[in-house]
Amino acid sequence: MSFLSFNHHKDLPLDSDPSSRFLPWLIAFMVYLAALSVVATSLMQSVSSRWERGVSDTLTVQIPPARSVQQDQSQIAGALKVLRANPAVVLAEPMPKTSVLALLEPWLGKADVLADMPLPHLIDVSVRSSVKLDADQLVQDLNKVAPGATVDDHRIWLDRLIQMSQTLKWGAYIVLGLICIASIGTIYFVTKTGLAIHHDVIEVLHLIGAQDSYIARQFGENALHLGLRGGLLGLAVAGPTFGGFAYLYRSVDSALLPQIDITLVQWIVVLSLPLCAALMGYVTARFAVLNSLKKMV
């Protein structure tokens, strides 16, 4: 009997193996973790890039409240004069009190309560990225006209944020790598177990003309089906998780959290995870079978 006679049916009862019951659940868990890692990495990149575009070339000058309105106005005018005379400064504008109240409201309460409090005066400053700004000298110059004035250089904490996001991103990549390695290892050893269980049937198939590639294809197709089934299950569980996270994120009323969006490419990557898991199972199972059958007598 030739190999062609085996093409349209399965000679190995792989569906009855114990692995057919637990392997889809294991792959589902792996795909679920992988989906969370991919989305988390995408969100970190989105938030980091939005913050970088928004504050990479900005400063905030804080002037303590004075004893009188006239003194406040004098200090603000003096600070604006110092800032606008600095070659690194593109624009310096005082922030309206309503904007200051809006910034503090998520942290200190309603704006009506804060309106009567002595709040510092803030000045938004845009700087040239091509010109180096001496922040220490700027603080000294500002304190000459507005004692107690401070400069919040957004680039300092932005650099820390970017460094942290890069660390978390590489951590997510490591997690994805470990998930792939664990999945490949599990499929490999499950396939080896299946070979041992069906050793006698494989021997008979060899005697009647089956090639190693045919047997490997049966194991590969079985792993493909199990991987696709488990991957779709994991993705189905990940969907509500994403929805819950998005709901909680939008419910946080904070100016520190920018609006984030997942791009079409990122969605395609997430939706392709079940197919990737299935293909990985197919390739791993075929490799395990072909590698093992070479050693069989």
Q: Which residues does residue 124 pair with via DSSP β-bridges, in sequence order?
A: 60, 93
Question: In angstroms, what CA-CA distances link 101 with 47, 120, 256?
Answer: 24, 11, 15
Backbone angles phi, psi at 272, to 5 degrees: -85, -5
pLDDT for the residue 143:
93
The domain limits of the chain are 3-53+158-293, 65-148
Q: Is the pLDDT of residue 155 over 60?
A: yes
Query: Global pTM?
Result: 0.68
Provide the pLDDT for residue 120: 85
Q: How confident is the model at residue 8 (pLDDT cuts 50, 70, 90)?
A: very low
User: 59 φ, ψ to 5°?
Assistant: -130, 160
Give me 98's structure tokens.
Answer: 């309503």
pLDDT for residue 112 is more than 80? no
What whole-number distance in Å separates Cα of residue 293 and Cα of residue 297? Answer: 8
Cβ atoms of 58 and 133 closer than 8 Å: no
Residue-wise DSSP of 194-226: HHHHTHHHHHHHHHTT--HHHHHHHHHHHHHHH
Of 26-40, 151-165, 201-215, the range with the lowest mean pLDDT is: 151-165
Structure confidence at residue 259 as a pLDDT band (50, 70, 90): low
What is the model's pLDDT at position 5?
Answer: 40
Write the pLDDT tens digit of every residue in 219-240.
989 999 999 999 999 999 998 9
